[in-house]
Amino acid sequence: MSYRPFSRRALLALSAAATLATALPALAQETAVKFQLDWRFEGPSAFFLLPVSKGLFKAEKLNVTVDAGNGSGNAVNRVASGAYDMGFADLAALMEFHANNPTAPNKPVAVMMVYNNTPAAVMSLKKTGIKTPADLAGKKLGAPVFDAGRRAFPIFQKANGIGAVNWVSMDPPLRETMLAKGDVDAITGFYFTSLLNLEARGIKAEDIAVQMYPAHGVKLYGNAIIASEEFIKKNPEAVKGFLRAFAKGSKAVIADPKAAIAIVKERDGIINAELEERRLRLAIDSAIATPDAKAEGYGSVSGPRLALMSSQVADAYTTKGRINPEAIWNGGFLPSVAERDIFAGAKAAPAKK
């Protein structure tokens, strides 16, 4: 029998097949994670997009996809349904879901706190003369019915002895427009969202009065990373790896917000990079790098504070049942304290006022 050597094409094909065979086991080791944001791709989404872009999730053997959202309530529902494995949502929305759906399978739980202080605020134009919470009594307040600040307003109202107010409902794009036109006296919303939206409508920052909830006795937690019960049960190491990568990414975002926004711009080319950098810095200053976050440790929570919030949310949201704080929070997957020390040596430039 005569010997016929392999052709160059055949050798290349064999080499490619061998390379693929070697790579397949490594690819198979990656855990896919579908992640749902609470809102559009804006400044704060840099905290999730940077770890994707920089390969931090890949280093933890995770294949993470991040999708834009349209509200915390929807983010909670999508994780609960199994459409997404993990997500980013307001803790109050998660509490409400638990209290109103006690027998639902696959209830999401919070595994890492990101907005240690709620960014919810009441905003008005200074020309209206609203200077203190008490000045809101009898006034027309505007917000979408699902707005976190509006839902939690009874807590703010009780803490500050505010009399009855009149609510006007609208879609999110109309909220700041109606305040600018004088159709409402004040609005509720996330500080870093409504402030910039008002400026975009021609209102100067110095003409806006801001009453932040945390500055007026309302120590609610804000947005947290959530994960479904099923995903946690099946992939505990993936949850740990996700949070480790997220903590590393958080430190990079806080150290250089401008570079972080460039990554958001890569994902959504129509954003205004300068505007979103300001939004990111405002979010860091008002909700993330706060004295409370530094005292409790980035990503963690205080037990008594969580219990108080559970009671307050149950009352304000008139939930079907009481809220068990131990059921909505699981800190067992958090990185070490050292790994979560994202504030050391990392300073974000002050936001423009």
In the chain, where the domains are located: 31-116+221-333, 120-216
Q: What are the pLDDT digits (tens) for 102-138?
A: 999 999 999 999 999 999 999 999 999 999 999 999 9
Please give the CATH topology (third level) of the domain spanning 120-216.
Answer: D-Maltodextrin-Binding Protein; domain 2 (3.40.190)
pLDDT (0 to 100) of residue 352: 44
pLDDT of residue 29 exceeding 50:
yes
Tokens of 73: 């309530």
d(CA 227, CA 224): 10
Question: Looking at the domain that runs over 31-116+221-333, which CATH code has it been given?
Answer: 3.40.190.10
Measuring CA to CA, which residue among 339, 250, 312, 324 is closest to residue 287? 250
Q: How many CB atoms lie within 10 A of CB 174?
A: 16
Q: Average pLDDT, stretch 213-221?
A: 96
Q: What local confidence, expressed as pLDDT, does residue 259 receive? A: 97
Predicted confidence band of residue 344 (pLDDT cuts 50, 70, 90): confident
pTM: 0.89
List pLDDT tens digits, range 240-252.
999 999 999 999 9
pLDDT band at 21 (very low <50, low <70, confident <90, very high): low
Does 31-116+221-333 match 120-216 in CATH topology? Answer: yes
Is residue 348 scored above 60 in pLDDT? no
CA-to-CA distance for 215 and 313, rounded, in angstroms? 18
Over the stretch 131-189, which tens digit does the pLDDT of each residue have? 999 999 999 999 999 999 999 999 999 999 999 999 999 999 999 999 999 999 999 99
Tens-digit pLDDT profile for residues 298-313: 999 999 999 999 999 9
Q: How far is CA 191 from CA 214, 246, 297, in A?
A: 11, 24, 23
What mean pLDDT, rounded, does the chain reach?
92
